[in-house]
Protein backbone atom coordinates (compact mmCIF):
# COMPACT_ATOMS: atom_id res chain seq x y z
CA UNK A 1 0.00 0.00 0.00
CA UNK A 2 2.83 2.36 0.92
CA UNK A 3 4.59 1.50 -2.32
CA UNK A 4 1.45 2.22 -4.32
CA UNK A 5 1.07 5.59 -2.63
CA UNK A 6 4.71 6.49 -3.35
CA UNK A 7 4.20 5.53 -7.02
CA UNK A 8 1.07 7.63 -7.19
CA UNK A 9 2.87 10.65 -5.68
CA UNK A 10 5.71 10.26 -8.17
CA UNK A 11 3.17 10.23 -11.00
CA UNK A 12 1.67 13.50 -9.73
CA UNK A 13 5.12 15.11 -9.62
CA UNK A 14 5.87 13.97 -13.17
CA UNK A 15 2.54 15.27 -14.46
CA UNK A 16 3.10 18.63 -12.78
CA UNK A 17 6.52 18.81 -14.41
CA UNK A 18 5.06 18.26 -17.87
CA UNK A 19 2.13 20.63 -17.65
CA UNK A 20 4.14 23.86 -17.89
CA UNK A 21 4.07 23.86 -21.71
CA UNK A 22 7.84 23.89 -22.12
CA UNK A 23 11.02 23.02 -20.28
CA UNK A 24 12.30 26.57 -20.41
CA UNK A 25 13.66 28.06 -17.24
CA UNK A 26 12.80 31.72 -17.56
CA UNK A 27 14.30 34.13 -15.07
CA UNK A 28 14.30 37.87 -14.66
CA UNK A 29 17.99 38.87 -14.61
CA UNK A 30 17.36 42.58 -14.26
CA UNK A 31 14.11 44.12 -13.05
CA UNK A 32 13.27 47.66 -14.13
CA UNK A 33 13.37 50.43 -11.56
CA UNK A 34 10.98 53.32 -11.27
CA UNK A 35 11.60 57.01 -11.63
CA UNK A 36 9.11 59.40 -13.27
CA UNK A 37 9.87 59.86 -16.95
CA UNK A 38 12.77 57.36 -17.02
CA UNK A 39 12.92 54.04 -18.77
CA UNK A 40 14.93 51.12 -17.45
CA UNK A 41 16.18 47.88 -18.95
CA UNK A 42 14.37 44.59 -18.42
CA UNK A 43 16.60 41.56 -18.89
CA UNK A 44 15.30 38.01 -19.13
CA UNK A 45 17.34 34.83 -19.37
CA UNK A 46 16.04 31.62 -20.92
CA UNK A 47 17.69 28.26 -20.28
CA UNK A 48 16.78 24.69 -21.11
CA UNK A 49 18.55 21.74 -19.48
CA UNK A 50 21.21 24.17 -18.27
CA UNK A 51 21.92 25.56 -21.75
CA UNK A 52 21.01 29.06 -22.99
CA UNK A 53 18.17 29.20 -25.53
CA UNK A 54 18.56 31.66 -28.41
CA UNK A 55 16.22 32.69 -31.21
CA UNK A 56 13.00 32.79 -29.21
CA UNK A 57 10.24 35.27 -29.92
CA UNK A 58 8.13 36.27 -26.99
CA UNK A 59 6.41 39.23 -25.38
CA UNK A 60 5.93 40.15 -21.74
CA UNK A 61 2.73 41.75 -20.51
CA UNK A 62 3.30 43.75 -17.36
CA UNK A 63 0.65 44.61 -14.83
CA UNK A 64 0.68 45.76 -11.25
CA UNK A 65 -0.18 43.14 -8.67
CA UNK A 66 -2.61 45.14 -6.57
CA UNK A 67 -3.58 48.09 -8.76
CA UNK A 68 -4.97 48.59 -12.20
CA UNK A 69 -2.54 50.37 -14.51
CA UNK A 70 -3.66 48.41 -17.55
CA UNK A 71 -1.19 46.17 -19.35
CA UNK A 72 2.17 47.22 -20.75
CA UNK A 73 3.44 45.08 -23.62
CA UNK A 74 7.18 44.57 -23.97
CA UNK A 75 8.96 43.05 -26.92
CA UNK A 76 12.40 41.61 -26.41
CA UNK A 77 15.58 41.74 -28.41
CA UNK A 78 17.63 38.56 -28.63
CA UNK A 79 21.09 39.44 -27.29
CA UNK A 80 22.46 35.92 -27.63
CA UNK A 81 23.55 33.45 -24.97
CA UNK A 82 19.96 33.11 -23.70
CA UNK A 83 19.71 36.80 -22.84
CA UNK A 84 16.76 38.90 -24.02
CA UNK A 85 16.48 42.60 -23.41
CA UNK A 86 13.73 45.20 -23.41
CA UNK A 87 13.08 48.46 -21.61
CA UNK A 88 10.11 50.07 -19.94
CA UNK A 89 8.98 53.30 -18.35
CA UNK A 90 6.72 52.24 -15.49
CA UNK A 91 4.05 54.42 -13.87
CA UNK A 92 5.13 53.46 -10.34
CA UNK A 93 7.24 51.18 -8.15
CA UNK A 94 5.94 48.21 -6.17
CA UNK A 95 4.91 44.68 -7.00
CA UNK A 96 4.56 43.91 -10.69
CA UNK A 97 3.69 40.78 -12.61
CA UNK A 98 5.16 39.83 -16.00
CA UNK A 99 3.14 37.39 -18.08
CA UNK A 100 5.52 36.02 -20.68
CA UNK A 101 4.01 34.51 -23.80
CA UNK A 102 5.86 33.08 -26.74
CA UNK A 103 6.11 30.32 -29.27
CA UNK A 104 8.85 27.80 -29.91
CA UNK A 105 8.77 25.23 -32.74
CA UNK A 106 5.05 25.76 -33.19
CA UNK A 107 4.09 25.24 -29.56
CA UNK A 108 3.18 28.04 -27.20
CA UNK A 109 4.85 28.61 -23.87
CA UNK A 110 4.09 30.96 -21.06
CA UNK A 111 5.60 31.90 -17.76
CA UNK A 112 4.64 34.25 -14.96
CA UNK A 113 7.20 36.21 -12.97
CA UNK A 114 6.36 38.42 -10.01
CA UNK A 115 8.94 41.06 -9.20
CA UNK A 116 9.53 44.13 -7.09
CA UNK A 117 10.21 47.50 -8.69
CA UNK A 118 12.33 49.81 -6.57
CA UNK A 119 11.87 53.55 -6.62
CA UNK A 120 15.07 55.34 -7.61
CU1 LIG B 1 0.23 51.29 -9.00
Q: What is the CATH number of the domain that holds 91?
A: 2.60.40.10
Given a cut of 70, whether residue 74 has pLDDT beyond it is yes
CA of 117 to the centre of ligand 1 (A): 11
Is residue 87 situated within a structural domain? yes
Q: Which residues pair with 63 in a beta bridge?
A: 97
pLDDT above 90 coverage of the chain, percent: 76
Mean pLDDT of 97-118: 94
Is residue 5 situated within a structural domain? no
CA of 79 to the centre of ligand 1 (A): 30
Mean per-residue pLDDT over the chain, rounded? 88
Mean pLDDT of 66-78: 97
8-26, pLDDT tens digit by residue? 555 544 444 443 456 899 9
Residue 83 to residue 75: CA distance in whole angstroms: 13
Give the domain extent around 111: 22-117
Lowest mean pLDDT among 4-13, 31-40, 109-118: 4-13
Ranges assigned E (strand) in the chain: 25-30, 40-48, 51-52, 57-64, 72-75, 77-80, 83-88, 94-104, 107-117
CA of 46 to the centre of ligand 1 (A): 28
Residue 43 to residue 106: CA distance in whole angstroms: 24
Residue 90 to residue 16: CA distance in whole angstroms: 34
At 18, which helix (H) or strand (E)? helix 2-18
Is residue 15 situated within a structural domain? no
CA of 41 to the centre of ligand 1 (A): 19
Is residue 36 situated within a structural domain? yes
Number of structural domains (the chain) is: 1
Amino acid sequence: MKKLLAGFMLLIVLLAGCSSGSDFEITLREAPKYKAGESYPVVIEVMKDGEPVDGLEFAAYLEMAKMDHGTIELNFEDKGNGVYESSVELPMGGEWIANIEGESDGSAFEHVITFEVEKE
